[in-house]
Amino acid sequence: MRTEFLRGRGLGRALISLTSLVTAVGPYRADWNETHVYNPAWPPHAKFHNGQTMSLGLALGVTSLWQLWRAPGSARASLDAGAVLASLYWLTQISALAYPGSKAVDPDRGEGFPQAKVAFPALAVTALGYVLERRRLARG
């Protein structure tokens, strides 16, 4: 069911906006705790980069929302920029596993890539939203 808010804007933009909101808020929900920001074992430079990452998520999420919902000069250009911005945080999070010595969790916290339960769905939702919005725009 389309709500008044979405009328004329498209479900695709709403889906990408959902990813953008998770991108802006998610790093703070995940890291503002004893495992990251308040972890006494972390050296100051590690905390610096954690803060940089949280701020990057906020900046990308807010900028993506701005691109998606501003008065369009070009609806396609706004959609493209919004979708790319909504994806960058998650793509770079996945790519971080490729750096030497990098792990997704501290050794005392287990193994694996727990971030995958957010990163991959966020990218999938963004891709679905992008495809839906491109189709809507093509219909005119």
100: helix, coil or strand?
Answer: coil
Whether the pLDDT of residue 22 is over 70: the answer is: yes
Question: How far apart are the C-alpha atoms of 23 and 122, rounded to whole Å?
Answer: 9
Q: What is the mean pLDDT of the chain?
A: 91
Which of the residue ranges 13-17, 106-110, 115-119 would you say has the lowest mean pLDDT? Answer: 106-110
103: helix, coil or strand?
Answer: coil
Whether the pLDDT of residue 120 is over 50: the answer is: yes
45-89 pLDDT, tens digit per residue, is 999 999 999 999 999 999 999 999 987 678 999 999 999 999 999
Whether the pLDDT of residue 9 is over 80: the answer is: no
Q: Minimal CA–CA distance to 26: which of 61, 51, 50, 66?
A: 61
33-46 pLDDT, tens digit per residue, is 999 999 999 999 99
Question: How far apart are the C-alpha atoms of 125 and 122, rounded to whole Å?
Answer: 5
Model's pTM, two decimal places?
Answer: 0.84
Cα 97 from chain centroid (whole Å)? 17
How many beta carbons lie within 10 A of that of residue 12, not counting itself? 24
Q: Minimal CA–CA distance to 93: which of 79, 78, 105, 109?
A: 105
